[in-house]
């Protein structure tokens, strides 16, 4: 019907944009694909977030330094740097990209008992990068990465939309 599809999870936006058109050929698949956006991407395109954030702040104690992990599915869509770029302009946050390392969770892979040790080993580099960044809070757009990040570091993990909410809505 011409609506835009907004996803707060980069795995979901990538599925609708890239994977579904490769897997399915039913009517409307391409239209849904071309009208699907990741939430921050959509807000950046359709709202003056830079202007709104320049006039906003969050208490520094709420988030502090944000150790940002770009999920694979954000990187695959060319969206990896947008959260750090956008939130760098916000007083009270200091987002630091912790690099291209992997969380190791890989969907349900890391939840399986027999894969747990391997999953944590894969995530080790990212956990170390988070600690090296001396962040107080982790940040990612992927809920499964967030679970692995929290488990591997003990940090509180937030979605970039939560940081925007604290600055612009709360």
65: Cβ contacts below 8 Å, ≥ 6 apart: 93, 94, 95, 96, 133, 134, 135, 136, 137
Whether the CB-CB separation of 95 and 38 falls below 8 Å is answered with no
> What are the tens digits of pLDDT across the range 23-47?
998 999 999 999 999 999 999 999 9
Residue 100, domain member (yes or no): yes
Given a cut of 50, the residues of the chain with pLDDT beneath it are: none
pLDDT at 5: 97
- 92/28 same-domain check: no
Return the CATH number at 87.
3.40.50
Instruction: List, in sequence order, every beta strand (DSSP E) within the chain.
Output: 5-7, 36-38, 64-68, 93-97, 137-139, 156-158
- 24/67 same-domain check: no
pLDDT at 118: 93
Residue 51, domain member (yes or no): no
Whether the CB-CB separation of 148 and 124 falls below 8 Å is answered with no
Owning domain of residue 156: 56-168
CA-nearest of 2, 37, 43 to 16 is: 37
User: From CA 113, how far away is CA 111, in angstroms rounded?
Assistant: 6
- 133/63 same-domain check: yes
Tally of domains in the chain: 2
């Amino acid at each position: 019907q011409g609506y835009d599809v907004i996803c707060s999870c980069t795995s979901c936006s990538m599925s609708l944009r890239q994977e579904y058109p490769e897997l399915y050929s039913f009517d409307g698949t391409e239209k849904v694909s071309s009208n699907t956006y990741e939430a921050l991407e959509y807000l950046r395109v359709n709202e003056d977030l830079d202007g709104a954030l320049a006039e906003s702040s969050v208490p520094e104690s709420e988030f502090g330094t944000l150790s940002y992990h770009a999920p694979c599915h954000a990187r695959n869509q060319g969206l990896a740097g947008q959260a750090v770029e956008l939130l760098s302009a916000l007083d009270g946050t200091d987002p630091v990209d912790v690099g291209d390392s992997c969380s190791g969770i890989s969907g349900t892979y890391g939840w399986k008992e027999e894969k747990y040790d391997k999953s944590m080993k894969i995530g080790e580099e990212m956990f170390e990068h988070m600690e090296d960044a001396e962040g107080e809070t982790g940040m990612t757009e992927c809920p499964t990465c967030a679970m692995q990040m929290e488990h591997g570091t003990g940090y509180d993990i937030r979605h970039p939309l939560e940081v925007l909410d604290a600055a612009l809505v709360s």
